[in-house]
Structure 1
Amino acid sequence: MTTTRAHGVSRLISGIMGLLMTLSVSASETGPLPSEDAEAWSLRKEVDNVRIYTMAREGSGFEAFKAVAELDVPIENLMAVMVNPESCEEWVHNCTESHAFGQGDFHDRYAYSVNDMPWPVADRDYVLRIRTRGDASTGEIIMDLNATPNMRAEFNSRVRVDRSDTLYRFTPEGDRTRMVWVQHTEPNGALPGWLVNSLIVDIPVKSILALEAVAKQDRYQGYQLQWGEDGTLQGVSPEAR
């Protein structure tokens, strides 16, 4: 295989796996995501501070994955990244465009993103409803991301993602943060399950390590969480100078 062809194949596989990070079957069609504490999770890979687990799903040839990471950044830094509608481009593998739209707020908002795919595969775009909640008693923050494909008109040059269900859980541990990312994916098109299952551990590792690095950048320092009197999370804002 020539160097050029090998590079093209590598890009195609990377693009497919990047797509898998944005595509996941909706809970209404396949049931809820597996429990984070389910015994069926099997450790597949451990890189630095990131562990990737997978689990077979009944009725599917594609495994679910769970990423667990101990990030060396405070939860305030991470949430400053997560509420930035353009931050997808900074840490999610192969995300090349991302912005907010609509009249949403911190708790319930919408974002549009594009996943780059190497030719001849068409780029995928997706419209996400992002819901965020937190509990002051534990400091824990949970984000649910679900596809809402009809919220925006489709582009002829892109394939719209119409099914998605993803969970992020952030738990503060002093100046560090524990992150859990759970997702199950049924990719569009004729992709063999064995191929996807053999590669699914790599992209969340790359993305989480990138997230940790991005959250350490100067632009995401000096933020604080805003808690309401009822103990619910109200938002994330720069600290008063």
Structure 2
Amino acid sequence: MQNLRAPGISHRACTLLAVRWMVMVASVMLSAMALAELPDEDAEGWSLRKETDNIQVFTIDQPDSSFQAFKAEAVLDVPIENVMAVMVNPQSCVEWVHNCSESYAFGDGDFHDRYAYSVNNMPWPVTDRDYVIRIRTRGNPHDGEVVMELNAIPDERNKESDYIRVDKSDTLYRFIPEGDQTRMIWVQHTDPNGSIPGWLVNTLLVDIPVRSMKQLERVAGWERYQNHELVYDQEGRLKDVVPKTQTGDD
């Protein structure tokens, strides 16, 4: 067999390179598998469970899980810049997500790929759950759409004794500008871990996005989230959400 090793590179070096390549490929495959957990927005089987004001909530069974996924869609009466100013704040979970009691960023990360820790209050006597989440954000300057993918990575931080760590949770947010309003599509599937009956979670499932989306609309109208803009780099990638530059009168 022909030796494909380049001149001057030892067998050990080649082995290390091969191992690194396999690790990289495995990482990409695992990432794709994590995202594949969510059902497609247009998949057959979605069932309309609730429609109130401008919010629709659908659910669908998930294979190998007793917990359903949900899809919620609403038109928020606030511009996308306001909404994204909320979403990039690592502590905003407590402001708008129903039952979120603690949230903050941790570790090394940037706008496109970062990490957050949060705690979700559960009704007594159920133990509260905590989440370790990887958040990836991308935007399209042509149509203004912003997509956020949130995936549980439970082993990224040590477990807390007071909580049960959620080890499987996948979320997709899509924000689409419609003039001074924002269409939000939220798809999520979470296995809360521990001894919670699936039928109980599925019964309460629709209330989470309804309450949260209504609150997000309110929060995005707060003063501190006004007058922001989406910033793109030269390649057209969304790179930040920042306050608009304050300029004086001419």
Q: TM-score range by the shorter chain?
A: 0.7 to 0.9
Deviation at 1:127, TM superposition (A): 1.1
Higher relative contact order (CA 8 A, sep 6+): 1
What is the rounded CA distance, in whole Å, between the counterparts of 1:140 and 1:221 in structure 2?
Answer: 19
Question: Is this contact kept in 2: 1:27–1:165, CA < 8 A?
Answer: no
Counterparts of 1:204 and 1:68, CA distance in 2: 9
1:192 aligns with 2:197: yes
Identity percentage over the alignment?
Answer: 63
In structure 2, how many angstroms separate the alpha carbons of the residues matched to 1:171 and 1:77? 13
Aligned residues of 1:27 and 1:33 also touching (Cα < 8 A): no
After superposition, the C-alpha distances for 1:121-156 in whole angstroms (9 at most, x for unaligned) are 322211111100001111110000111222222221
Aligned to 2:104: 99
Match of 2:118 among 113, 132, 135: 113
In the other structure, the counterpart of 2:183 is 178
Give distance in 1, aligned partners of 2:39 and 2:205.
16
Residue number among 85, 94, 110 corresponding to 1:89 in the alignment: 94
1:45-84 correspondence to structure 2 within 5 Å: 45-84=50-89
Q: Which residue of 2 aligns with 1:146?
A: 151
CA RMSD of aligned residues (A): 1.8
Distance 1:39 1:118, change over 3 A: closer
2:240 corresponds to which residue? 235
Residue type of the partner of 1:139? G
Normalising by structure 2, we get a TM-score of: 0.81
In structure 2, what is the Cα distance between the partners aligned to 1:27 and 1:197? 26
Q: Distance in 1 between matches of 2:158 and 2:104?
A: 15
TM-aligned CA distance change 1:177 to 1:29, over 3 Å: closer
Larger Cα Rg: Structure 1 or Structure 2? 2
Please say if residues 35 and 170 of structure 2, whose CA atoms lie closer than 8 Å, have aligned partners that are also in contact: no
> 1:27: Cα distance to partner?
7.3
Q: 1:195–1:156: structure 2 CA closer, same or farther, 3 Å change rule?
A: closer
1:220 to 212, 221, 225: 225
Deviation digits for residues 86-125 of structure 1 (CA, Å, limit 9, x no counterpart): 0000001111111111121111111111112344332221
Structure 1 Cα separation of the partners of residues 170 and 144 of structure 2: 23
Q: How many residues align?
A: 216
Distance 1:27 1:207, change over 3 A: farther
User: What pairs up with 1:19-38 in 2 under 5 angstroms?
Assistant: 28=33, 31-38=36-43
How far does the alpha carbon of each residue in 1:26-58 deviate from its partner, in whole angstroms, 9 at most, with x for none? 974794311111232121111111100111223
C-alpha contact 2:169 2:191 (8 A) present in aligned 1: no
Match of 1:44, SS state, is: strand
- Residue 195 (structure 1) shift: 2.6
Distance 1:216 1:55, change over 3 A: same
Give 4+ residue runs of structure 1 displaced > 6 Å after superposition.
none
Which residues of structure 2 form unaligned runs of 5+?
1-30
